[in-house]
């Protein structure tokens, strides 16, 4: 397969055949350039990242798991610099083309993985999601994508950002492939039984652009039809912006802690916006960080109460479809902040979340998300498969 | 001439012959990559700087002036990114070798110009000095160098940083060449008459490393012998660190204003430390900036009072010789802050300053500076020439 859309990191393409006879035999996958592949430098989306680091001698857990299941690795995909970005514009490796939304960003930071799957170059692809890095590109590229329960998937060999929020996720174009890959990655069969109660997070729909909220309504109705008993509720009693504020204190503080030795010893080149984000983490006062940790406790309690076994919640994955590429920071920053308002709950509370494609605004994809109890990942995948099978 | 020391910007070397029969005929010069040369993109030391900018159609004033005087341009030299740096380590174009201090930085931001002159690749070279960018590499590379009176030299075609502090300067290895080039650049003959009174800024010697202060004493004695009547005084009554604090409020605020549209529209790649410096400018409170402007007024009044016509002041140019290359930011940041304590008066008060080479600490050059009244640039050059002629 070629790379006409610029989804893969520049240079020779790695290819590793999957084990024969596995459940994913015949499928191809790509790995975001944050996952170690033995013998290949992990680029991290920043050309000063690999300097002075040894080439991995072992595959990351996620890559090894897909290879063992029979899928063939066909390349490493572009990521926002050290996963710091939500839009997918990378000045070192380039911005992958979003074939579902021409002239628009693919979303990030798992930009190349989403773009490659959307373009049909591979069947599935590995991403990471700390603050939305699988969810956002899933929404912008019209894909199935999962941010699993935090702590469930082994992150060995995955470049970390903010460990209390980091997760490994994956993408697929269709519900059946999504279910097959998910069963392998989760180590659990995808059930046929579905959740029985749907909570609609009305505040999140009110927060999205009116056109996006309207475009998602038919999907919400189909979901209600599938799940049955439905009721409305509010997701974030203190306000989505308060949850986002808490996550913007927790995640950058951890990211700065992760990268500060690199910054100090290498003084690496990076996009201005990436440096700005890291310095924002360095500047968070201890009092703000302390407050954010209390808010995380509250958010976890609230989400656990809201989502007992058998209940799922739905919300727009992003407040709007993919923005245009190449816009100034002064345009993109407010958009990024709004995305964070919908995504913050993932890092705060650690519940699994699946993006369901199907809606469009002016031809551009926008996704509906479902969230369940911690550990209910397979149940969310079951809903995705069932909804896809209805079409 | 080759470029074994990596002083010139990568790529084809520009060469423009000087006018025949000029006062500088037979001399060669290099121009820091912040000066426009017609037909050559101005690189600015950052690979994302030239993007979207037109190639200059005219030479900068300084380049045209040297060409008209007969000097031949032999290349453009490496600079710290958009002049933001004082050590001369550039991740895009490389760090020029300081032949006078092996394994040490050349100083910046006029790193390549100083390195090329020190290595004998050209006779003179153009630099810029906002916060020390000619003075520091002069000191570290053992060169004559001048930061002229602010506002005296036409900066047309020179990439600005902080206009109320920006100046155009130049380097030379010997006193005669320094005088010849200075006469052309200043448009004024270098006088034979010398100043008659020397002020020794005792606080600045106390601030320098003891070894550097001691190494400079023989030069101070020679200067006293040359000028005659000598007395000691204090330069910065509020404290060097207070002047440095004021300059660290004024210069970064202006630098951020200069570059903010570029940051917004291009989100350029830059070393982490450069982004950090720009963001420090963005974060200066109006109250701090207002205070810094008042301190600038005080500094100007103090320096004008201290330096009537015929009086010069001497101080260490830098508190120490060139630091080792490749050190972590946590080591370099405190060194940079100490350099600023000696250099801040230049940007604050705008007086001319000349670095005199000759002293060494453990074989590494460290310079003695002389400062005179505004407009007394030629008189400072006369001192440099006279002192050189004594050897």
Distances (CA, A) of A264 to A84, A258, A272, B267, B323: 18, 12, 16, 22, 16
Determine if residue A207 is left, alpha or beta; phi over 0 gives left, psi from -120 to 50 gives alpha, anything else beta: alpha
Structural domains in chain B, CATH included, are 28-186 (3.90.1300.10), 197-390 (3.90.1300.10)
Residue B381's contacts (CB-CB under 8 Å, 6 or more residues apart) are B146, B178, B179, B182, B183, B186, B190, B354
Average pLDDT of every residue of chain A: 96
Closest partner residue to B267 (CB to CB) among A263, A278, A329 is: A329
Nearest to B315 by CA among B343, B296, B347: B343
Mutation site, B48, B90, B262, B275, interface A, largest A CB count within 10 A: B275
Report the distance separating Cα B295 and Cα B244, nearest Å: 10
Distance of CA B265 to the CA centre of its chain: 30
Strand partners, B31: B76, B126
Low-confidence winner among A222-226, B99-103, B112-116 (lowest mean pLDDT): A222-226
| B147-B148-B154 Cα angle (round to 5) | 115
Predicted pLDDT of residue B1: 56
Residues A238-280 pLDDT 10s: 899 999 999 999 999 999 999 999 999 999 999 999 999 999 9
Gap between the Cα atoms of B131 and B128, Å rounded: 9
B260 in active site: no
Q: In this predicted structure, what is the pLDDT of residue A172?
A: 98
Q: Is A49 on the interface with B (CB under 8 A)?
A: no
Residue B234 confidence (pLDDT): 76
Residues of B in contact with A91 (CB under 8 A): 48, 267-269
The residue from A109, A111, A182, A273 that is catalytic is: A109
For A60-160, strand residue ranges (E) read 72-77, 124-129, 144-147
* pLDDT, position B248: 95
What contacts B322, CB < 8 A, 6 or more positions away? Answer: B98, B101, B104, B105, B106, B107, B140, B141, B364, B365
- Tokens linked to B142: 């053992």
Measured CA to CA, the distance from residue A133 to residue A316 in angstroms comes to 15
Residue A91 to chain B, least CA–CA distance (Å): 7
Residue A234, pLDDT > 80, answer no
Rounded to a whole number of angstroms, the distance between the first and last alpha carbons of chain B is 29
Please give, rounded to a whole number of angstroms, the shortest distance from the CA of A275 to a CA of chain B.
Answer: 6
Mutation choice for A interface testing from B269, B324, B336 by most A CBs within 10 A: B269
CA gap A356, B224 in Å, rounded: 82
Cα dihedral across residues B199, B204, B205, B206: positive or negative? positive
CB A231 within 8 A of CB A259: no
Query: Do β-strands A364-371 and A311-316 pair in parallel, antiparallel, or remain unpaired?
Result: antiparallel
pLDDT of residue B2: 72
Q: Which residues pair with A361 in a beta bridge?
A: A364
Q: Which of A110, A133, A182, A379 is catalytic?
A: A133
CB B202 within 8 A of CB B155: no
3-state SS class at A368 = strand
Task: Encode pLDDT of A167-215 as tens digits.
Answer: 999 999 999 999 999 999 999 999 999 999 999 999 999 999 999 999 9
Cβ-Cβ contacts under 8 Å, B275 against chain A: 270, 272, 275-276, 279
A271-323, pLDDT tens digit by residue?
Answer: 999 999 999 999 999 999 999 999 999 999 999 999 999 999 999 999 999 99
Q: What tokens were used for A121?
A: 């170059």
The residue in chain A having the minimum alpha-carbon distance to the alpha carbon of residue B268 is A271
Selection from B114, B154, B105, B150 nearest residue B133 by Cα: B114
| Residues A149/A168, Cβ–Cβ less than 8 Å | no
Q: Confidence band (pLDDT; 50, 70, 90) for A1?
A: low
Tens-place pLDDT, residues B330-362: 999 999 999 999 999 999 999 999 999 999 999
Query: A328 CB near a chain B CB, below 8 Å?
Result: yes
Q: Is A391 in the active site?
A: no
Task: Tell me the chain A residues in contact with residue B267 when contact means C-beta distances shorter than 8 Å.
Answer: 89, 91, 271-273, 329
Six-digit token pair at A130? 């700390």
Q: To the nearest whole number, what is the mean pLDDT of chain B?
A: 96
Cα of B180 to nearest chain A Cα, Å: 40
Residue B177 binned pLDDT confidence (cut-offs 50, 70, 90) = very high
The 3-state secondary structure of A264-316, one letter per residue = HHHCCEEEHHHHHHHHHHHCCCHHHHHHHHHHHHHHHHHHHHHCCCCEEEEEE
Cβ contact B267–A48 (<8 Å): no
pLDDT at position A237 is 83
Interchain pair A264, B329: CB under 8 A? yes
Q: Which tens digit of pLDDT belongs to each residue from A140-172?
A: 999 999 999 999 999 999 999 999 999 999 999
What is the value of pTM for the model shown? Answer: 0.94
Secondary element (H or E) of residue A69 = none
Three-state DSSP at B218 gives helix
Residue for token pair 């072992």: A58
- Which pLDDT value is given to residue B294? 97
Nearest to A95 by CA among A108, A41, A82, A158: A108
Q: Is B76 labeled as catalytic in the residue annotation? A: no
In B269-308, the residues whose Cβ lies within 8 Å of chain A are 269-273, 275-276, 278-279
Question: Hey, is the C-beta of A267 within 8 angstroms of any chain B C-beta?
Answer: yes
Q: Measure the CA angle with vertex B266, ends B264 and B272; round to 5°.
A: 85
Position B246 pLDDT exceeds 70: yes
| Complex-level ipTM | 0.91
């Amino acid at each position: 397969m070629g790379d006409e859309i610029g989804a893969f990191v520049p240079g020779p393409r790695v290819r590793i055949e999957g084990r024969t006879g596995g459940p994913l035999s015949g499928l191809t996958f790509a790995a975001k350039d944050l996952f170690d592949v033995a013998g290949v430098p992990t680029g991290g989306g920043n050309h000063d990242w690999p300097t002075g680091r040894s080439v991995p001698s072992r595959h990351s857990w996620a890559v090894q798991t897909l290879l063992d299941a029979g899928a063939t690795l066909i390349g490493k995909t572009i990521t926002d610099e050290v996963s710091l970005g939500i839009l997918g514009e990378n000045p070192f490796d380039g911005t992958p083309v979003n074939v579902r939304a021409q002239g628009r960003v693919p979303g990030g930071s798992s930009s190349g993985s989403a773009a490659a799957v959307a373009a049909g170059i591979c069947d599935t692809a590995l991403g990471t999601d700390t603050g939305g890095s699988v969810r956002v590109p899933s929404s912008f590229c019209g894909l199935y994508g999962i941010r699993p329960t935090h702590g469930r998937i082994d992150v060995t060999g995955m470049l970390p950002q903010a460990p209390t929020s980091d997760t490994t996720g994956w993408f697929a174009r269709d519900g059946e492939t999504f279910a097959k890959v998910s069963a392998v990655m989760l180590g659990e069969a995808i059930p046929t039984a579905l959740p029985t109660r749907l909570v609609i997070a009305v505040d999140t729909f009110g927060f999205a652009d009116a056109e996006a909220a309207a475009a998602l309504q038919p999907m919400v109705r189909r979901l209600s039809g599938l799940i049955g008993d439905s009721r409305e509720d509010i997701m974030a009693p203190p306000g989505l912006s308060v949850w986002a504020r808490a996550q913007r204190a927790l995640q950058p503080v951890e990211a700065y802690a992760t990268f500060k030795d690199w910054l100090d010893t290498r003084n690496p080149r990076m996009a201005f916006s990436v440096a700005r984000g890291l310095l924002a983490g360095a500047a968070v006062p201890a009092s703000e960080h302390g407050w954010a940790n209390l808010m995380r406790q509250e958010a976890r309690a609230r989400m656990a109460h809201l989502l007992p076994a058998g209940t799922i919640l739905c919300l727009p994955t992003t407040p709007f479809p993919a923005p245009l590429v190449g816009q100034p920071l002064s345009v993109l920053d407010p958009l990024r902040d709004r995305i964070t308002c919908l995504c913050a709950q993932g890092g705060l509370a650690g519940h699994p979340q699946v993006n369901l494609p199907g809606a469009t605004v002016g031809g551009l994809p926008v996704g509906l998300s479902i969230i369940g109890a911690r550990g209910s990942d397979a149940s969310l995948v079951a809903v995705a498969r069932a909804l896809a099978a209805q079409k």
